[in-house]
Structure 1
């Protein structure tokens, strides 16, 4: 290659000299220039001297050895939550790698240092989470422990994967019950506040006095003015009762006064009818459902008639047959003890027949 370049360069110089008409001194100077160019070409094209023996260079390059990493699985480690006495159960696979250390550095348990570093990082996360948020805390731990970090001693780098975080079943059930109780308590507290507010509104505003009650009723029934007038007495009683006071004097004539029916014979009392039960208690002795003597007198039976008890017994049987028990009881109550046995058969000489009575 050096010879070829030298010949090529010499031909170019000859062509250039002939074309330009060089003088003899130019031709003599081109000779050394051609030699210098040949020498430089030889130096440039010659291979460089190898720094290592050829037998070493012939061996293929080997890949660098990977940094040795080791793993250790930890199971069911208790980690604190933000609530006392409620601990998470933590499981994970800890991975670590050793760092360079001085020659005089002490021997270490790399697994112990790595596990301690991972647990310290996990504890700082779980201590901020409530126990009922174990799923959220697990995902946060996945991110917090996913990178290699140097431990406090500076001898290992540690991380964790396959993280598991749970709350024990009995603690989960207990938290669920407490949550339900708190929810019920909140609902009860709101209902109590609502009831208290409603009582205050009715007692201190609506029923503050009779006028306020009337105005409140009119605001809800704007078209019933006459109805409001009719209810003034009721409103007066309600407002007075709400304040534990008596009705104002100007409204006393509007207050409804129920009639006293405890005394017998007063005008306006409703008399007992044949449908009223005998012996119903009204405060005094009950009246008979109807005047028995008057009924017997309609049939020509006087109080001293010897057939009175027998006739009353017969009427009582008829009343019983028709379901008129009140009339039956009244008729039997007027029968003398020695006049009838309650079955319509008297102790006298007379006996009933199909067509009437026999004997005296």
Structure 2
């Protein structure tokens, strides 16, 4: 009885423990698998050729070309065959416009690399119907625009260089005018600083530098430096005081003009002034006459005529009468001190007392002198 009782208890316990398990029947269906995702359609191809995209400069457009790859999205199903390529091209061109519209036209090559990176990612268009990307991107300017940009760039560089040169010249003028040529002393110091070992030449340059300084400041040469000028100030005016070349009363009103080329008469005047001969001296008249005759004998008639016309002393009011009211000389005509060169005679103007012996000697000088 005990054995039967224990066996029954164990059986009861096993029945209770196994009662919570749900036994699967032989015909109970198994759990279903998730549905398979439908495959995406393949990419299709279309082209964009020379689409004009505005740049940052007005009137200069980029020409954009690319190969557009697109496919419809799953949410909208298969779009119509004509609308899908247009939507893909519109999406790619819009994305390209956002990249290049703030780029300068001269940076077309740089902007092309930006476009290649931006358009290589497939993105849906605004309507979400297609996804599109671009490859083989080209971005160029029209040939005429490229030539204009090249010319403008060259002109801009030339103008920049010219402006720098102008500024350099202004700085140099300001330096010379306000510093170097401010006074004769500053000019001499500037010259000596550039030629440290030429002290003696610096002394010779004082006169010319003083003259340049006076001209730069629109002033007269200071009295302190006038004796250093070459020729000295006053040498020409003293040597020709009363002469027709300097007072404007010569034949034909031939006044000396410093702007004109220095002629034979001017150089002869410098020589006369250097030796101390003045128009009111008999030696002056004789010397000029002999130079004229020598030039005529050498066949230099033009130079002789110039000296005769410009350096002939002004006629004296009393030149036509001697001490007794008669003619001063037998060969003189019209009060002119020059006679015909062929005649070989010369009568100077009335000489002051004490000079008759000298005049007599000059009149008897042979023609070969």
Q: TM-score, normalised by structure 1?
A: 0.58
Deviations 1:238-292 (A, max 9, x none): 101112222012211222217764249947599999xxx752837526xxxxxxx
- Answer yes or no: is 1:149 the counterpart of 2:123: yes
The 5 A counterparts of 1:148-187 are 148-187=122-161
Q: Which residue of structure 1 aligns with residue 227 of structure 2?
A: 253
Find the residue that maps to 1:89 and give its secondary structure: strand
Find the residue that maps to 1:281 and give its secondary structure: helix
Q: Which residue of structure 2 aligns with residue 218 of structure 1?
A: 192
Structure 1 residue 203, shift from structure 2 partner: 1.4
Q: Distance in 2 between matches of 1:106 and 1:180?
A: 52
Q: Which residue of structure 1 aligns with residue 268 of structure 2?
A: 262
Deviations 1:208-255 (A, max 9, x none): 111211222233334444443332212110101112222012211222
Q: Which residue of structure 1 aligns with residue 303 of structure 2?
A: 281
Which of 172, 177, 186 is equivalent to 1:203?
Answer: 177
Q: Distance in 1 between matches of 2:270 and 2:66?
A: 94
5+ unaligned residues in a row in structure 1: which ranges?
1-21, 286-333, 335-360
Q: Which residue of structure 2 aligns with residue 111 of structure 1?
A: 85
Structure 1 residue 168, shift from structure 2 partner: 1.9
Q: Which residue of structure 2 aligns with residue 128 of structure 1?
A: 102
Kept after mapping to 2: 8 A contact 1:264/1:284? no
Q: Which residue of structure 2 aligns with residue 345 of structure 1?
A: none
Q: Distance in 1 between matches of 2:123 and 2:82?
A: 17
Q: Per the alignment, do residues 42 and 77 of structure 1 end up closer, same or farther by CA in structure 2, a change over 3 Å counting? A: closer
Q: Which residue of structure 2 aligns with residue 357 of structure 1?
A: none
The 5 A counterparts of 1:199-348 are 199-257=173-231, 261-263=267-269, 266=272, 268=275, 279=300, 281=303, 283-284=306-307
TM-align CA RMSD:
4.5
Of residues 86-95 and 40-49 in structure 1, the stretch that sits farther from structure 2 once superposed is: 40-49
Structure 1 residue 115, shift from structure 2 partner: 1.8
Which of 27, 30, 48 is equivalent to 1:50?
Answer: 30
Deviations 1:29-58 (A, max 9, x none): 334456678899994897963367xxxx9x
Deviations 1:55-103 (A, max 9, x none): xx9xxx9883223543321111111111222211111122333345689
Find the residue that maps to 1:94 and give its secondary structure: strand
Kept after mapping to 2: 8 A contact 1:240/1:247? yes
Q: Distance in 2 between matches of 1:42 and 1:157?
A: 51
Equivalent pairs, count: 258
5+ unaligned residues in a row in structure 2: which ranges?
237-266, 277-286, 309-341, 343-369
Q: Which residue of structure 2 aligns with residue 96 of structure 1?
A: 70
Q: Which residue of structure 1 aligns with residue 58 of structure 2?
A: 84
Q: Distance in 2 between matches of 1:251 and 1:82?
A: 66
Q: Per the alignment, do residues 72 and 265 of structure 1 end up closer, same or farther by CA in structure 2, a change over 3 Å counting? A: closer
Q: Per the alignment, do residues 106 and 68 of structure 1 end up closer, same or farther by CA in structure 2, a change over 3 Å counting? A: closer
